[in-house]
A and B are shown apart, each in its own frame.
Chain A
Amino acid sequence: GQQLNQSPQSMFIQEGEDVSMNCTSSSIFNTWLWYKQDPGEGPVLLIALYKAGELTSNGRLTAQFGITRKDSFLNISASIPSDVGIYFCAGSNYGQNFVFGPGTRLSVLP
């Protein structure tokens, strides 16, 4: 079946640093989604990407839909303590067959 890989699995950064994480797939998706999950809560949608090559920002977050449609990256600029959490990527095709990556665990040191 389809699988997504996320890297890195975990990262420890200093407050104020920029963060970059990515997601790759063995197959094509026409939608890429990035979510953040805090402990004990459900995933919250951060950014949705619908077109190959699309670059979208949401505040300090920027995500891109790879031109091959098999990858996506998420950047966080000037990290702050509340950025701590698990970041999941997900791919889907026409609203069906959602596949999630295993997550990147982000820790921000003051």
Chain B
Amino acid sequence: NAGVMQNPRHLVRRRGQEARLRCSPMKGHSHVYWYRQLPEEGLKFMVYLQKENIIDESGMPKERFSAEFPKEGPSILRIQQVVRGDSAAYFCASSPIPTSGDGVGTQYFGPGTRLTVL
């Protein structure tokens, strides 16, 4: 059973370009979460999505950042017009349906995408 997959693992962008980060959840998981981590810091929640639905985006900046989880395909975190301050590791996690019993409330993380903005 493959784990959470993220790509690319490393992404370099120049200021003003767009960054697209992809996340494929674990098989059978329908909930995806995105987090941001700066060096030497903890994980900061950004957004929580179900298929075709944004459940909670309270941690995501209002401008330049967007996320989607389409019916088919991976979840995408999109950062437009990147700035140096966007440089960080971005982690995706997935969980089973919250009411499904075993594993409820448990998240599994991908390996992350490390974004560097030059």
Contact = CB atoms under 8 A, between A and B. Distances in A.
Contacts of B95: 95
Contact of A41 (B33, B48, B104, B112): B112
Nearest to A102: B42
A82 interface: no
B105 interface: yes
B22 interface: no
Contacts of B106: 31, 33, 45, 48, 95
For chain A, the bracket of interface size reads 20 to 34
For chain B, the bracket of interface size reads 20 to 34
A95 B105 contact: yes
Contacts of B104: 31, 50, 94-95
Given A95-B98, A96-B98, A44 B105 contact: no
A92 interface: yes
A19 to B, nearest CB: 19
Interface of A: 30-31, 33, 35, 40-45, 48, 50, 88, 90, 92-103
9 contacts: A35-B109, A42-B111, A45-B109, A48-B106, A50-B105, A95-B96, A96-B98, A98-B93, A103-B42
